[in-house]
Amino acid sequence: MSTHKLPRKSTHIDMTAMCDVAFLLLTFFMLATKFKPDEPVVVKTPSSTAEVILPDNSILLTVDKDGKVFFDYDNKKAKRMLIEKVNEEKKLQLNEEEMVSFVNGASFGSSFSQMKQYLDIPPMEQKSFAFTGIPIDTSYFAATNELAYWVQSARRAGQDQNPLKIPIICIKCDASTAYPKVKDVIKTLTKNDITSFNLLTSLEAAPFGTELYNSQQAAAKTH
């Protein structure tokens, strides 16, 4: 009686096809990824032992060592609503490309009168723009204080975009910034009934022997 062997199933994997898929995925991510330009200002923040992480949906106010103030908002949907409102109310005559540049760009730190000139620059070259800082006049309210206008308009845009998530305001200052410049930013917020905000610092190790140091060591031993 003759016996017939069943054909052996091939376990060969077409590596050429796998490489093609990997290459196509890499190409897709390279084309689809949009890189945010570098921040136009670098600040060295004071150090602190606080471990609170910068929350999402944050309005960031940066004060450089010369006291110039910059504005940014990490909620892109709300930021789009914001720039449309600013463009209409301030009659900036921004086109679609310039508004997209604002939404995807880094911090802005000049007056409304310079905004169109700034956004007309290619995004990767905006860092070299001669920023003068957002004007602040603490003797008045949002009508003439441009920083107050930015903050209030961003908060409204954020709440319109997501009523259940109120934007968080964070202030990041250089360690060498003169205190009166920082005080002007804080005064702008408090005069507009904004009394809750975060001050960003760089994380440092807790001093040896302190209660915080001991609690951190105890927590580390439990993991």
Q: Would you say residue 120 lies in a domain?
A: yes
pTM above 0.85, yes or no: no
pLDDT digits (tens, 9 = 90+) for 26-72: 555 555 444 555 666 665 654 444 455 566 889 999 999 999 999 99
The parent domain of residue 185 ranges over 56-203
Q: Would you say residue 7 lies in a domain?
A: no
Q: Which amino acid is at 85?
A: K
Q: Would you say residue 84 lies in a domain?
A: yes
Q: Would you say residue 15 lies in a domain?
A: no
Q: Would you say residue 136 lies in a domain?
A: yes
Q: Would you say residue 107 lies in a domain?
A: yes
**What's the total number of domains in the chain?**
1
67-82 mean pLDDT = 95
pLDDT digits (tens, 9 = 90+) for 119-153: 999 988 888 899 999 999 877 555 679 999 999 99
H/E/C letters for each residue in 161-220? HCCCCCCEEEEEECCCCCHHHHHHHHHHHHHCCCCCCEEECEECCCCCCCHHHHHHHHHH
Of residues 82 and 18, more confidently modeled? 82
Q: Would you say residue 93 lies in a domain?
A: yes
